Amino acid sequence: MNGSTTGDTDEREAYRLRIRAWLADNLSPRDAPARVHAIDYYTPDVLAANRALQRTLFDGGYAGISWPAAYGGQGLAPEFESVFLEEALAYVTPDFGVLTATTFHICVPTMLAHASPEFLRRFVPMVLAGEALVCQFFSEPSSGSDLAGVRTRATKDGEQWILNGQKVWSTFAHLADFGMCLARTDWEAPKHRGLTWFVVPCASTGLTIRPIKQIGETSEFCEEFFDDVVIPGADVIGGVNEGWTVTQTMLVFERGAGRPDGGAAASGPGPLAPDMVQLAHASGRIEDPVVRQKLARAHTIDYIGKVLGSRIAEMGRLGALAPGMAAYGKLFRGTYLPIRARIGMEIGGERAATWDLADPHGAETSTAYLNGRAASIAGGTNEMQRNAIAERVLGLPREPSFDAKKPFSQVLREANDWKGTI
């Protein structure tokens, strides 16, 4: 995405020294290691403070380090971004929750691969300055895991498009400024060939965003209703009816190709599962040999996940990552995060299941356990990832498809007419 060289060691070390001086002068040191916050931590006020931090990075020349200079980035090689991430670990940096991933690691990298230069010159600097956070308007109530079964309709009207339909499971849409929306623009084409991506302002007239209250009394996901939402033709991402190609790129980034690894693979295994060790101490079980084995397994999961993520990110930077290969990272998380969550409950015992309400982190272990299966479902089930690996990487026969080559309007008519069998 940048076309820059990696620079020699002296250049990178000189860059490191400049970063250290700038960080000391412009950002606040952390008083504790960075941690994952609860969903309800993120509010408009919290995001406003982090937008200001993002603006500080932008003004200082440390936003979009590996993004093209033509669109507001610095145009440097990923190695320089890794240097910045390493040095910035000790400082408070912007944290937009899940919107960090959807904006900086998924949606905008997809835009950089497919959007017009005119759009990118207008939009990307707003992202880098903290003025534009982006969510995904992707899933729909009627299509489930069939990503190509989109029914949200985009109708051409002169130089603009009119959107009508519904989306769901859009993470942090109520806090975002824009959404990347997949809509159907040709109903007579097969389902994969009649799709187009649009960038939609979340404050658009006719767009209603409703947070979904979850069992934990938080609202991470939203549902959206599009009622004659007007989108300029300049805000199409990729070609009209070429949305499936854009989707394949997005899925690669969603699986980890867009995330800078910060030298994760080179940094070694790191400390022994710090959250689990703290839990073992709090439970008075740190000397228990069975607990020590569980700590070792959690640590192994952490390190293997880190190395796999680093490898996927590197393949993405080299342009060698296809959706099937990217599925390995998603399958790993869907398989082993539930195991790690269960380990936390086994180590913590009753302390993990009950906690002092005054402890802001007391519910984290049990919440991780209750949410443990989310990674095996959200963003594509484990079964879907195995299919992708089997068919696209291992070359096994594809599953039969009875609707992929039919006009999508015919698919819907046949679905409506189908009576089923007993």
> Active-site residues: which are they?
254
DSSP string computed for 185-202: --TTSBTTTSEEEEEEET
Beta bridge partners of 209: 224
Sorted by sequence, the CB contacts under 8 Å of residue 124 that are 6+ apart come out as 64, 67, 71, 72, 73, 108, 111, 112
> What phi and psi values does residue 360 have, to the nearest 5 degrees?
-65, -20
Sorted by sequence, the CB contacts under 8 Å of residue 350 that are 6+ apart come out as none
With contact defined as beta carbons under 8 Å apart, do 123 and 63 qualify? no
With contact defined as beta carbons under 8 Å apart, do 227 and 298 qualify? no
Beta bridge partners of 170: 222
Distance CA 124, CA 280 (A): 45
Sorted by sequence, the CB contacts under 8 Å of residue 298 that are 6+ apart come out as 273, 276, 340, 343, 344
Q: Which three-class secondary structure state does DSSP give residue 304? A: helix
DSSP string computed for 8-46: -HHHHHHHHHHHHHHHHHHSPBPSS---PPPGGG--HHH
How open is the CA angle 358-363-369, to the nearest 5 degrees?
Answer: 175
Sorted by sequence, the CB contacts under 8 Å of residue 342 that are 6+ apart come out as 369, 372
Count the helices and strands in the chain (H runs, E runs): 14, 8
With contact defined as beta carbons under 8 Å apart, do 130 and 55 qualify? yes
Distance CA 217, CA 236 (A): 36
Beta bridge partners of 201: 178
